[in-house]
Structure 1
């Protein structure tokens, strides 16, 4: 006897229920309303298998992986085999299948299902040709958003089509930093389009603000309590799609990475966006303030499993470096500390320029716009030049556009 959950599209629910009711070897134990109820049933061992349709509410690759991790077999039901396979469903039957065919497919799927170890990262589509840089770091405000915005700005100035993505689910500040007054949560809109399987196919269809012709911003959540709208697997797919449209994708994230509740499901917590952005990145720029507290927090962060798992793609940047905080010469002192405690040199050193930063924030400008001769701005430009080869421009950058939103 095979116990089955029905999680199919609304139009097929009753048809499939009546069809399987005729099969003695199959018992339908529940017909969940959405992905949350479906996962709850799977994790309590309520069924041997689940039949899913591609338009079932909340269904994505992350949910399919969680179902399999619970030891429940998954059988796809529908006519779009490519869409079902994209969700990670290898076995499926068409909507025209008879009761005997469905029952046999259920048996085959159940017998071939092996419970895998829980994945450390949700599955998602492969990335494109663009380079994804996730700006992470310690607490104590090392300047993650400021650095992310100016990395995007200098990427564009060096000939790369760039986009800054605000994936900070605690305090989204990219829009404020760039002086954008609109109240649009572009990232939430992108995730919704991706989840509904109607993703944008080119830049013109991407919800974003056009700062310049080659510099764009995907703004974050307008309220922190909207964090459930940014799910890890969907964000992974969004970043991969953006990487096919932009040369440089800079992702600004919160410093928090672990669940607020140790007993929470790691796939459904506020900081899953940070983990997804770190995993999707080609380069992770870890920032820490160049003062005793900031350096101590960096040493602790570098000792975590998360930091060690990032390996060679992690780069370290020390911000707000000044001799008054660590002694003279400041850069030498900082390198001594990191070599002593973590046996590693910082990759980048960023000067402390409060006057330029204040002027840029007050006007909603980038550092280069506020002061073209800024040392800090040039240091960030050097980071982009090291991460990406420069490209020749076909034309000069266009004038800045303040409130363009698509």
Structure 2
């Protein structure tokens, strides 16, 4: 098969000339003067591979992801070991600047073969639909880079439809309960519409930790130390956990690119036992309707988080508006993230909104009109405990440790904490002390 190649950089003309003299399947179809010209040539469908001889320091995760979206693999020539390591971490094939043309042709052929086979069958960690070009999967990283970023931690994504069903409340307190259970936890605020984790925990909203980590990942500079430095540490009386705070303004959503966020989450899996993500509500991909399908997408952070998650908690308000919204949202979630098997959580359960025996009535209504999977948990309404936690900038574990709300949330992630958990509506009240 013929492999058309475009090149950029004059420092390695000898290698490119030798590649042309081979008269093999690898053919140089254009020599570009700058990286932007190379990008335009690749997006026009002119090549299957790009050789970067000069200016490899300008390559970022986002740029490599855009080239991978149109089926182009990137090969960079460098003699710096540090630069080669950085390039491999963002999915670039790094080769020596004085590589033999025959060896370079073989490297290009293998890279193109990996890219084409990846496009035919996405791997289990594919984030193709969440990348800037939804119809074309992102080019895979080399085996060395995948080995570096793979981790054993689990990812819990907390999602819910519009209407403030309690995503942030659930995510923050899940992280606190997991930390109290002795696990290392990173809480990520990936809501591109209304990031609020920092406000709920009383953290200074001076910088966006997640945006900072994404910038480093985009440049291929995100390691364990850099991720730890970008995260804020929150201490409770039972443990501590790290937080990657969300964007400080809603218009900064463009900093949460899918390709960079994927690297951040994979690195977080390597650092922590559990990664809890507070996602946004919107699952639409309406940006694809614009003329530039490679432009940033506001919902990419939510879609990417849901696709990478090991467990998706779908939370909805237990009332006449929240339940139908959740049912419609779950149907949409099934379409955009087919591998997701969400654990349904109904929040703000109270008699005044549902009636007598609210859990029973919600279960009966769900069995008639809801999806095939059942309700995982019922979270009781406790506005006083929520207000106290928000006012003090703390978690329920500290301000309302004995509340049914706190026990219900902890029961989702660490069951031993909830041996005292009671069914809402049939809660055994503690005996009152008699006054003297």
Common topology (TM > 0.5): yes
Aligned residues: 380
**Does the CA-based 8 Å contact 1:302-1:308 persist in structure 2?**
no
TM-score scaled by structure 2? 0.76
Q: What is aligned with 1:96?
A: 98
Give matches, 1:140-179, under 5 Å: 140-179=163-202
Give the distance between the partners of 1:111 and 1:353, measured in 2 at CA. Answer: 57
Residue among 390, 411, 431 paired with 1:361: 390
Instruction: Map 1:378-397 onto structure 2 (within 5 A).
Output: 378-386=407-415
C-alpha change, 1:229 and 1:382, in structure 2 (3 Å) is same
3-state DSSP class of the match of 1:347?
Answer: strand
CA contact (8 A) 2:247 2:253 kept: yes
CA contact (8 A) 1:236 1:276 kept: yes
- What stretches of structure 1 of length at least 5 have no aligned partner? 8-12, 391-406
Output one character per residue of 1:183-225: Cα deviation in whole Å (capped at 9) or x when no partner: 1111111122222332232488431222116222211111122
Q: Could you say if the C-alpha distance between residues 52 and 362 of structure 1 is closer, same or farther in structure 2, counting changes exceeding 3 Å? A: same
1:275 & 1:204 partners in 2: Cα distance?
22
Give, in whole Å, the separation in 1 of the partners of 2:390 and 2:283: 27
Distance 1:160 1:112 in 2: 37
**2:217 is equivalent to residue 194 of structure 1:** yes
Shift of 1:271: 1.2
Alignment of 1:149-298 (within 5 A): 149-202=172-225, 205-212=228-235, 214-264=240-290, 265=293, 268-298=296-326
* CA drift at 1:77: 2.7
Aligned to 1:20: 16
Deviations 1:161-197 (A, max 9, x none): 2221111111110100001124111111112222233
Q: Displacement of 1:74 after TM fit?
A: 4.1
> Higher relative CO (CA 8 A, sep ≥ 6), structure 1 or 2?
1
Task: Answer yes or no: is the 8 Å Cα contact 1:203–1:245 preserved in 2.
Answer: no
Give the 3 Å change call, closer, same or farther, for CA 336–227 of structure 1 in structure 2.
same
Instruction: Quote the Cα distance in structure 2 between the aligned partners of 1:366 and 1:114.
Output: 48
- 1:127 touches 1:244 (CA, 8 Å); kept in 2? yes
Greater shift after overlay, 353-362 or 322-331?
322-331
| In 2: Cα distance, 1:151 partner to 1:103 partner | 51
Task: Give the direction of change, closer, same or farther, for the CA distance of 1:21–1:308 in structure 2 (3 Å limit).
Answer: closer
Gaps of 5+ in 2: 22-26, 123-127, 131-137, 420-436
Write the distance in 1 (CA, Å) between the matches of 2:353 and 2:325.
15
Contact residue 411 and residue 418 of structure 2 kept, 8 A = no
Instruction: Return structure 1 stretches of 4+ with deviation > 6 angstroms.
Output: 107-113, 387-390
The alpha carbon displacement at 1:340 in A equals 1.4
CA drift of 1:93 comes to 3.8
Alpha-carbon contact 1:190-1:206 (below 8 Å) kept: no
2: distance between equivalents of 1:19 and 1:136?
51
| Equivalent pair of 1:129/1:247 in contact (CA under 8 Å) | yes
Contact 2:205 2:248 in 1 (8 A): no
* 8 Å Cα contact 1:243-1:249 kept in structure 2: yes
CA–CA separation in structure 2 for the residues paired with 1:302 and 1:310: 13
